[in-house]
Amino acid sequence: MTTAPVRTASPVVGPPPRRRLRQTLEAYALLTPSLLGFVLFLVAPIIGVVVISFFDWNLMGSPRFVGLANYREMTGDSEVWRSVRNTLYYVALNIPAQTVLALLLALAMNRGLRGGKVLRVLFVLPWMAMPVALGIIWSWAFDPEHGAVNQFLSLLGVSGPEWLSSTTWAMPVLASINVWQYTGYTMLFLLAGLQAIPESLYEAADIDGVTGLQRFFRITLPLLRPSMLFVLVTNVIGSFQMFDTVYVMTQGGPNGSTDTMNFHIYQQAFQLFRTGYASALAMLLFALILLVTAVQFLYFRKRTVYDFS
């Protein structure tokens, strides 16, 4: 009786050392332009802001090291905390309205409306416009005497206020402009999330007799959470950094009611030439954005993920 010879598995032989070295060098060579851009335009400026925040510097003379003096001054500066409140107020006005309107538009577009592609383009067009140009146009529209908004209200027998000169209305006006500009852009991401939901789930829900509201809250919203997380994180970060509209339309007024953190940092750095103090304010803004973003990720951490493959 003969036995078949036992075959031993041949060891996996990788590429020769010289070839591996050449491949590694080629990979680093291809990555170098992106890495340089990342370091020069993101990492280096961040490090620079952190370092400058410990100095007293007016952009012209020699920097003078002051340690934590800028941070101590910041904690007792009422204008800083007013700008923080204004920024949070702006975010609270902008994000809910923008998200709800974008979701309603996405749901409507997802139903396959006639002319839906044209409508998508029209909704996204405001996002493509320059914020400075939009600020000038909307300043004309909200002019208390000759603006289109008050002219329209007068046709209804309503006397419109001095929008941008009112401490009550100035910030809502700025928020409404941002909602108008970015709702269509936000809608695209939510629409992509809606179109990724398998139709078979809705068909199964119809068979089970699930109502429209139950379908929305039990199928649509849970499966839309990854898209919603992306939309909320990016929009909140953008809202905290709002500057262009304030600079063009109100300059932080009236009476500081629209003085947001980004605009306050600009004033300290380029109008009062307090670069070190402005850098400390920038670190405060970074900390607030980081905190809010972390809260959002913690809230969505237990999101349900479905595998439809």
- Closest by CA to 160, choosing from 177, 176, 144, is 144
Q: Residue 130: its pLDDT value, please?
A: 87
Tell me the backbone φ, ψ of residue 189, rounded to 5 degrees.
-70, -40
pLDDT at 308: 47
Alpha-carbon span 105 to 88, nearest angstrom? 26
pLDDT reading at 14 higher than 70: no
pLDDT tens column, 237-293: 999 999 999 999 999 999 999 999 999 999 999 999 999 999 999 999 999 999 999
Contacts of 74 (CB under 8 A, 6+ apart): 80, 277, 280, 281, 284
Query: Which pLDDT score, from 0 to 100, does residue 302 have?
Result: 67
Please state, in angstroms and rounded to a whole number, the distance separating the CA atoms of residues 187 and 254: 33
Helix/strand/coil percentages in the chain, nearest 5? 70, 0, 30
* 3 state SS of 66: coil
What integer pLDDT is reported at residue 219 of this predicted model? 87
Average pLDDT over residues 8-15: 54
The β-bridge partners of 55 are: 65
Q: How far is 205 from 209, CA to CA, in rounded Å?
A: 6
Q: Are strands 64-65 and 55-56 parallel, antiparallel or unpaired?
A: antiparallel
Domains of the chain from N-terminus onward? 79-299 (1.10.3720.10)
Q: How far apart are the C-alpha atoms of 38 and 31, rounded to whole Å?
A: 11
Look at residue 255 in the predicted model and tell me its pLDDT: 93
Indicate the SS3 state at residue 68: coil
Q: Has residue 66 got a pLDDT over 90?
A: yes
- Looking at the DSSP bridge assignments, the partners of residue 64 are 56
Mean pLDDT (whole number) for 149-159: 90
How confident is the model over 182-200, as a mean pLDDT?
Answer: 91
The answer to whether the CB of 232 falls within 8 A of the CB of 99 is yes
- Kindly report the number of other CB atoms within 10 A of residue 204's CB atom: 12
Whether the pLDDT of residue 61 is over 50: the answer is yes
Instruction: List, as one string, the DSSP characters of 103-136.
Output: HHHHHHHHT--TTHHHHHHHHHHHHHS-HHHHHH
Q: What is the mean pLDDT of the chain?
A: 88
* Residues 124, 156: Cα–Cα separation, whole Å: 30
More confident residue, 206 or 259: 259
Nearest alpha carbon to residue 263 among 276, 278, 277, 274: 278
pLDDT of residue 286: 94
- Residue 111's pLDDT is what? 83
**44 pLDDT tier (thresholds 50, 70, 90):** very high
CB 201 within 8 A of CB 219: yes
